[in-house]
Structure 1
Amino acid sequence: SSKITSILNPADITKALEQCAAGFHHTAFFKASGLSKKSDAELAEIFNVLDGDQSGYIEVEELKNFLKCFSDGARVLNDKETSNFLAAGDSDGDHKIGVDEFKSMAKMT
């Protein structure tokens, strides 16, 4: 998404995606992509891209396609990666990730 590449360095995104080839871990991705260094406002903008249906939450299907938001050619997350990602970010137990939860995840790296 051009919105994402206006916030994150495309080379950092590429590096982060390459690291995910063997397995996805959100903290490694957030750090490598530069997400962990972004402001709340920038993280909110990225969250809005990730929230494909604009529900205000990133749900399971959107989590599966998380990497594809950064590059069309990226893979989907497998079920285990998706459930681990959800468990790490879903602090209130509603089975989805809100914008504040997303910001917290990014800053925990």
Structure 2
Amino acid sequence: MAMKNLLKDDDIKKALDQFKAADSFDHKKFFDVVGLKALSADNVKLVFKALDVDASGFIEEEELKFVLKGFSADGRDLTDKETKAFLAAADKDGDGKIGIDEFEALVHE
């Protein structure tokens, strides 16, 4: 599933441009700018599945590092600091990975 089926190309570009600099990523602002917050829970879960590259049912830290590339090949890699902060914000059960419900809750918090 391509992100552009759910999100507008212009919004994706705008969001990626806003967080182009290393250590500038803010998941709350990104979700808002890219249009994720406006999606239904079911559509957010479709986005999760697209970002879950290995189809494990979780977004692990290594996948999270490349999350912006999931929105566009032009997306940069998150820094280790950004990756750990993103994981800490989403991983409510402390298992070291983000489940689909954790992701949806994070997007809509």
CA drift of 1:98 comes to: 0.3
Which residue is equivalent to 1:100? 101
Which residue is equivalent to 1:28? 29
Which residue is equivalent to 1:54? 55
- The whole-number CA distance in structure 2 between the counterparts of 1:95 and 1:33 is 25
* TM-score (normalizing by structure 2): 0.95
- The whole-number CA distance in structure 2 between the counterparts of 1:37 and 1:95 is 27
Which residue is equivalent to 1:70? 71
Question: SS at the partner of 2:37?
Answer: helix
Question: SS at the partner of 1:37?
Answer: coil
* TM-score (normalizing by structure 1): 0.95
CA drift of 1:74 comes to: 1.3
Structure 1: state its 5+ residue gaps: none
Identity, % of aligned pairs? Answer: 48
Question: SS at the partner of 1:97?
Answer: strand
Whichever residue aligns with residue 99 of structure 2, its letter is G
Whichever residue aligns with residue 87 of structure 1, its letter is A
**RMSD across aligned positions (CA):** 0.8
Structure 2: state its 5+ residue gaps: none
Report how many residues are paired: 107
CA drift of 1:3 comes to: 2.0
Q: Deviations over 1:56-90 (max 9, x none)?
A: 00001110000001111211000000000000000
Which residue is equivalent to 1:13? 12
